[in-house]
Structures are given as structure tokens and as C-alpha cells.
């Protein structure tokens, strides 16, 4: 069968259920996985509870989709729409992307009884960053223990949640994020790095560090701004390229102004295609205090960029110290600055790490490997 030919098989029909289609790591990953399974000829559906629907245009033609039009904290109308769709389409399994959609799936099980589909929940958070989120586990935990399967983003996260929340290990598995290394490559951008730098008003000899992600408290991009300020105070021509948007944008821009580095921080906003930004960087940095297995970091690795990551979540499953990048203690700006200074002073070693980063991304974290694992999760088979 051709990779672009769609022929639905008599296998398990699966519905992926999201909260929304806003641009985010897990949302975009889900759309890409759904598209790939659809191209492989599987009966895959995609549903989301409510808007925004920013990623809707990225869904492959022919994928059956439905917006459940949720309103309020819990929408019985959305639940009824979900039940009707599941019955009409003969959905046998629902894969819920995080806990809130799983709440609807388990409510559906109560409504449908023995006719209900099996339910899988994927967990995209390692550490909660607010008391409200932690408190909500009182509601979610009894439901999660009754899930047919639980999927985590890293081995570290799986072990942590099994121990902390007494989850049934036999129902748990982890699937590392994967990257399309043909798409995420310097050559695929079609331009040299100097052109990409020029697009962001960056010079060929500047030391450019950067990050990609939503501007949320746990991402803590302010640490990167402070590190750039310290590097410039040491006389280095350091710049930061901070891609994304979110509630913390005004705070980050004020931090840059207060540190006197506004002219050296680039905020290009959201980018549907982040490859030009990654190509403009010398080093990719993640300053998160809570991360499971960063999509953005793997994409940077595939772009032959060394990665410097805060030592949280499953980062040690992605980065080998001094091989394809460096780790540092989360929130330790002094250590982050020292690591970046070392990479700037030995650019030959940094390039070597970048080459190793791409090799590891291809060998260990390929997109096709991730899709294979979701294919097995969905119980789908091809003839």
C-alpha cells in the first residue's frame, strides 16, 4: 500500500480526543500522529472539546473530525455529542490526550455501559506547577486507575507517577516523542544559517541561544534572558531568540528591559514553521522547571543544534552529557550561564555536539518509530 493511499481496514476504530487544537507540543504531535495513522490506512478519528482550532488546517484531508462544542466546566451537551459520534462511527477505543478529555471518556463509559469503548489516557505533565492542578488529581486519580492503559512521555515520568500515585504498572507504558528528521534539517530550510540570522537581525558572528515554547510560568524563559544579560556583561556578543506566545509575554519583555538587554532579545511571536528560528541558533535551550520530553528540543537536535536543558523530567533519556548537549539544574542561572559560556568558547565542540544530536534524533527518536508505537497502542493492524 502506498503511504499516501487511504484504505480503511477492518481493524479497531480509534478516536483521539483533545481539549482543543491550539498550537502546543502535545496538540501538534497528536495531529501529526493522527495524520500518519490515517495515511497508513487505519480508521482513525480526531475530536476536540472546544476551540481554539488553530491547528485544524493541518489535519490531513479525509480524517473524520468533530468539535464537541463544550461550554462550561462540564458540558452534558458535549458528552451527548461524543456518545452519538462514538455509536454512529463504531469507535472501539478512545485515546485521551491528558486528563481533562479523559474525564469525558470515563463519563461516556458510565453512559454506555458494556457498549463503551476502551479508554486510554496519555499524561503530558510530570510535575504540577500550581496547587489547583495538584488538587484536581483527587478527581482524576480514581478514574486513571481504571483506565485500560496509561501512556507517559518518558520512563522517568512513568516511574514517578506509578510510585507517587500508586498507579497499576502493568497498565502503563511510555512513548518518547519523535521527530521527522527529513523535515527538521538544516538542508530542508533551503537557506544558509546566515540568511536565517539576517531575518531576525542577527549577525553571522553573534552567539545566538534560543528556545521555542508557550510563554507559561513553568517554561521560565526569563532565566535565558538573565543568562544573556550575564554573558553580555562579560563582553560576549550574545543574543537570545525566544519563539512563542502566551500570558507571560509582557513579563518577559519587562525582564529584558529591566536587565538592559531589550536590543539583544528577539521575540518573533508564534511561528508555524520554527525551522528558520532553530537554524539561526547556535544552541537550543530549555529552561523549564517542569517538562516531560520536549518536542522542541528533539526538533532542535534534528536541526543539528546542541541542546542545553534543565535537568527535569525525561531529559536524561534525551541528552548524554557532553555528547549531544549539556544539562544544568533547573532555575540555576549561574550554571546555565557557565554552560553557555563554555559552548561559545569552544565552537568546534559545540558543532560536534550538534552533529551527534542529529544522529541521536534519527536513530532513537524518529517520527516513524513513535507512530509505530501509537499504532500498537491503538490495536490497529494492516493487511
Return the C-alpha cell found at 372: 509505530
Answer whether residue 29 is part of any domain: yes
* Domain count for the chain: 2
Listed in sequence order, the DSSP H helices in 113-165 are: 131-135, 137-144, 155-165
In the chain, the DSSP E strands lie at 14-18, 44-48, 65-67, 93-97, 118-123, 149-152, 172-174, 207-212, 238-243, 265-269, 283-286, 307-310, 325-328
Tell me: the pLDDT tens digits for 32-57? Answer: 999 999 999 999 999 999 999 989 99
Give the whole-angstrom CA distance, residue 24 versus residue 214: 7
Residue 310 and residue 203 share a domain: yes
Res. 146: pLDDT tops 80: yes
Same domain assignment for residues 247 and 110: no
Sign (positive or negative) of CA dihedral 67, 71, 72, 74: negative
353 in the same domain as 372: no
Assess if residue 71 is contained within a domain: yes
Q: What is the pTM of this model?
A: 0.89
Note whether 263 and 372 are same-domain residues: no
**Distances 37 to 17, 164, 201, 339, 357 between C-alpha atoms, Å:** 15, 33, 40, 40, 27
**Residue 263 structural domain:** 187-364
Tell me the average pLDDT across 85-94. Answer: 96
Q: Are residues 302 and 337 in the same domain?
A: yes
pLDDT tier at 26, thresholds 50, 70, 90: confident
Q: Is 6 part of a structural domain of the chain?
A: no
d(CA 302, CA 316): 17
Q: Tens digit of pLDDT for each residue in 310-365?
A: 999 999 999 999 999 999 999 999 999 999 999 999 999 999 999 999 999 999 99
Q: Is 1 domain-assigned?
A: no
Q: Is there a domain that residue 39 lies in?
A: yes
Query: The domain that contains 237 carries what CATH number?
Result: 3.40.50.2000
**Does 253 share its domain with 340?**
yes
Give the C-alpha separation, 93 to 90, whole Å: 9
Contacts of 179 (CB under 8 A, 6+ apart): 295, 298, 299, 301, 302, 361, 365, 366, 367
- The pLDDT of residue 125 is 86
Specify if 157 maps to a domain.
Answer: yes
Please tell me whether residues 28 and 170 are part of one structural domain. Answer: yes
244 & 104 share domain: no
| One domain, residues 149 and 202 | no
Amino acid at each position: 500500500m502506498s503511504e499516501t493511499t487511504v484504505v480503511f481496514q477492518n481493524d479497531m476504530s480509534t478516536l483521539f480526543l483533545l481539549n482543543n487544537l491550539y498550537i502546543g507540543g502535545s496538540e501538534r504531535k497528536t495531529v501529526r500522529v493522527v495524520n500518519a495513522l490515517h495515511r497508513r490506512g487505519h480508521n482513525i478519528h480526531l475530536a476536540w472539546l472546544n476551540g481554539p482550532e488553530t491547528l485544524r488546517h493541518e489535519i490531513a484531508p479525509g480524517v473524520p473530525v468533530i468539535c464537541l462544542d463544550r461550554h462550561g466546566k462540564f458540558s452534558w451537551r458535549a458528552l451527548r455529542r461524543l456518545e452519538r459520534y462514538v455509536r454512529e462511527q463504531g469507535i472501539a477505543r478512545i485515546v485521551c490526550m491528558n486528563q481533562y478529555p479523559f474525564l469525558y471518556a470515563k463519563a461516556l463509559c458510565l453512559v454506555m455501559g458494556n457498549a463503551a469503548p476502551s479508554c486510554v489516557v496519555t499524561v503530558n505533565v510530570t510535575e504540577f506547577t500550581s496547587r489547583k492542578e495538584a488538587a484536581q488529581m483527587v478527581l482524576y486519580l480514581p478514574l486513571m486507575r481504571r483506565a485500560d492503559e496509561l501512556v507517559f512521555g518518558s520512563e522517568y515520568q512513568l516511574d514517578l507517577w506509578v510510585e507517587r500515585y500508586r498507579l497499576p504498572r502493568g497498565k502503563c507504558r511510555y512513548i518518547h516523542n519523535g521527530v521527522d528528521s527529513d523535515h527538521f534539517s538544516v538542508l530542508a530550510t533551503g537557506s544558509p544559517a546566515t540568511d536565517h540570522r539576517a531575518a531576525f537581525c542577527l549577525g553571522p558572528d553573534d552567539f545566538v541561544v534560543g528556545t521555542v515554547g508557550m510563554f507559561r510560568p513553568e517554561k521560565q524563559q526569563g532565566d535565558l534572558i538573565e543568562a544573556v544579560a550575564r554573558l553580555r556583561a562579560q563582553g560576549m556578543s550574545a543574543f537570545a531568540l525566544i519563539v512563542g506566545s502566551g500570558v507571560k509575554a509582557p513579563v518577559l519583555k519587562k525582564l529584558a528591559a529591566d536587565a538592559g538587554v531589550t536590543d539583544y532579545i528577539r521575540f518573533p511571536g508564534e511561528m508555524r514553521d520554527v525551522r528558520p528560528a532553530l537554524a539561526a541558533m547556535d544552541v537550543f535551550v530549555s529552561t523549564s522547571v517542569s517538562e516531560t520530553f520536549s518536542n522542541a528540543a528533539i526538533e532542535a537536535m534534528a536541526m543539528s543544534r546542541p541542546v542545553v536543558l534543565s535537568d527535569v523530567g525525561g531529559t536524561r533519556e534525551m541528552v548524554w552529557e557532553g555528547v549531544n548537549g549539556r544539562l544544568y539544574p533547573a532555575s540555576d542561572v549561574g550554571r546555565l550561564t557557565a554552560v553557555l559560556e563554555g559552548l561559545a568558547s569552544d565552537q568546534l565542540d559545540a558543532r560536534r555536539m550538534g552533529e551527534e544530536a542529529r544522529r541521536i534524533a534519527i536513530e532513537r527518536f524518529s517520527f516513524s518509530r513513535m507512530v509505530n508505537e501509537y499504532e500498537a497502542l491503538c490495536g490497529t493492524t494492516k493487511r
